Amino acid sequence: MDKPDLKIHKLNSREERPAAPELAEDQTGHQPSVRYVEVPGYAPDYAGRPYAEDDSIDLLALWQVLAQYKRVLLSVFLFGMLLAAGFAFLSTPIYRAELVMASSAEEKSGGLSSLAGQFGGLASLAGVNLGGGSNDVERVLATLKSRVFLVPFLQQEKIVPLFAQEQGLSGETPSTLDVYETFSEDVLDIRKDNKTGLMTLGVEWRDPVLAAHWANTLVARLNEHQRQAAIKEAQQSIDYLNQQLAKTSVVDMQQAIYRLIESQTRIIMLANVKKEYVMQVIDPALAPEKRVQPQRSLILVLGAVLSVMAGIFIIFLLHGLKAFRQQLAQNDE
C-alpha cells in the first residue's frame, strides 16, 4: 500500500494555523495530506527571528514549592534544632584557667652581660654558660612542652588515669606518650605577646579547680626544674675551671678563670635564693567560672541555619522526584 505524501509546515502559534487547502489529486489518484505540527519552544521575536523561551527562575514558583512542602521543612528544622540543642546542653563543659607570667632572664643575665662581653670566647671554650637573653626564654618555653618535663608532671599529678576516664576506657589505660601528645596539644596552651613580652599559660579541662591547679603547678615545677639544672651546670663549670686553674701559671689567664668562677658562683647563689628562677608569675591562675566550650549560642545558630538548608534541599529533592514520576507516567500513557 502506498504511503500518502506528507508535508510539514512550521507554525509560529496555534492562531496562525490556516485552513486545510484543497489539493489536487496526483497522477496516481492519491490526494496528498497536510499535517500541521506545532514546534515547542518556538516563537518569533520582534524582528521575526526565532528564539527560545525564557529560562529565568520564577521565585514565585519556588515559594509555592516551599509552601507545598512546609511540613517537611518544619519537621527537618525541628529535628536539626533538637540535635543542636542536645549537643549544646549535654556536652561536657570545658573551662580555661590562665596564668600570666614574665621572664626573669633579664634580671638573671643583667649582672653577667659585662662578663659575656669580656670573656665570652673563653667561656664558650670552657663550656661555661653566661646567659643568652631572649634565647633563654625560647628555650624555657620549649622545655615547658617537652617530654622530659611533661611526662614526670603527668605521672606525679596522676593525669593518665583521668584521660582513661575521659575517653570512657574500662580496664584500659592509655600510654603515657599518647596522654602527653593530647595534653600538650589540646589541654596546654602557651601564648606570648611580642610587644609586652608577657606570656599566658592556659589549661583547658572539665574541672575548673583542677585546671587552675595544673597551671600554677606547671610554672612552679618549671622554675624548680630550671633552677636545679642551672645549679648542676654551674657546679660542673666551677669544677672544670678549678682543674684548668691548677694547670696554668699565666696570671692573666688565672684572673679570667677567677672571674668565670665568680660568675658561676653567682648563678648558684641566685638559683638557691630565687624560687621563681626563670618565670615570674604576674597573675596566678584561679578557678574559672565561665566555660569556654561548648559555645551554646553559636551551636544553636549554626544548627538553625544548617537545618533550614537541609530542609530546602530535601524539599526540592522530593519535588524533583515527584515531577520525574509524573513525567514517566505521562510517557507510559
User: Rounded to an integer, what distance in angstroms lies between the CA atom of residue 93 and that of residue 248?
Assistant: 67
Query: Which grid coordinates belong to 151?
Result: 611526662
User: Rounded to an integer, what distance in angstroms lies between the CA atom of residue 208 and that of residue 262?
Assistant: 46
Radius of gyration of the chain from Cα atoms?
42
User: Rounded to an integer, what distance in angstroms lies between the CA atom of residue 237 and that of residue 125?
Assistant: 11
Q: Which of 304, 140, 120 is nearest to 219 (CA)?
A: 140
pLDDT of the chain, 333 residues: tens digit per residue: 555 555 555 555 455 555 555 554 555 555 555 555 555 555 555 444 444 455 566 788 888 888 888 899 999 999 999 999 999 999 889 999 999 999 986 555 544 444 444 444 555 555 555 554 456 788 899 999 999 999 999 999 989 888 877 765 555 678 889 899 999 999 999 999 989 989 999 999 999 999 999 999 999 999 999 999 999 999 999 999 999 888 888 888 888 889 999 999 998 999 899 889 999 999 999 999 999 988 899 999 999 999 999 999 999 999 889 888 888 888 876
Domain boundaries, the chain: 6-51, 59-89+294-332, 92-293
- Cα 164 to Cα 103, 158, 182, 259: the distances in Å are 35, 11, 12, 54
Question: Is the distance from CB of 105 to CB of 134 less than 8 angstroms?
Answer: yes
Q: Which of 152, 127, 136 is nearest to 277 (CA)?
A: 136
| Residue 241: strand, helix, or coil | helix
Report pTM. 0.67
- Cα 104 to Cα 72, 133, 310: the distances in Å are 64, 10, 56
Question: Is the distance from CB of 276 to CB of 223 less than 8 angstroms?
Answer: yes
CATH architecture type of domain 92-293: 2-Layer Sandwich (3.30)
In this structure, are strands 199-205 and 94-103 parallel, antiparallel, or unpaired? antiparallel
